[in-house]
Amino acid sequence: MENNEILLKPAISFAVLKILPLIFLTLLFLLLAWYLSPFFVFFSIGTLAAGWYRLLYIRKSIYLVTPEVVRISRGIFFKRTDMLEIYRVKDYVITQSFILQLLGLMNLTLKSTDAENPVIWMVGIPESDVIDTIRDYVQEARKHNRIYEIN
């Protein structure tokens, strides 16, 4: 990886936060299996497997920002990689809920003129000044490719 490439991944704390309802549901099914019927163990195993899959799916998301493209890779069994030319990025939005602020994380939304990917969400990434770097990359790519915005 070159020095001017930025590799972003959702944090493990964000992934655990996202699967927390499935963890609670797994524990509830275990309690029901203990008190009512042992068949609830199967539901517990199913929700635990769904939570594990969701955790791996979130953690396998990779956002690579280079001076030319933004590459988004997702998936475990079936991988999908989307590429967005950096000069197509039009707007940037950073959102942080209270919990994300406590964890030092942020959600970054990139709005673009690309027909296939008009909006790109980078969720649960560590809080940083990556938006300034992306903005510099966009300005340089537009200048290099002679792209001017007409309003």
Taking only the tens of pLDDT, the chain with its 151 residues reads: 557 899 999 999 999 999 999 999 999 999 999 999 999 999 999 999 999 999 999 999 999 999 999 999 999 999 999 999 999 999 999 999 999 999 999 999 999 988 888 999 999 999 999 999 999 999 998 888 887 777 6
Task: Give the model's pLDDT for residue 107.
Answer: 95
Q: What is the pLDDT of residue 3?
A: 73
Backbone angles phi, psi at 84, to 5 degrees: -125, 125
Strand partners, 42: none
Nearest to 86 by CA among 126, 120, 60: 120
Q: How far apart are CA 141 and CA 87, in angstroms?
A: 5
Q: How far apart are the C-alpha atoms of 41 and 56, rounded to whole Å?
A: 22
pLDDT of residue 114: 86
Q: In this structure, what are the phi and psi dihedrals at residue 100, rounded to the nearest 5 degrees?
A: -65, -35
Looking at residue 1, its pLDDT comes to 55
User: 9: left (phi > 0), else alpha (psi -120 to 50), else beta?
Assistant: beta
The pLDDT, as a whole number, for residue 4 is 84
- The whole-number pLDDT of residue 151 equals 64
pLDDT at 115 (0 to 100): 86
What is the structure's pLDDT at 29? 95
CA distances from 92 to 10, 40, 133, 145 (A): 18, 46, 12, 20
Check residue 40 and give its pLDDT.
Answer: 92
pLDDT at position 142 is 87
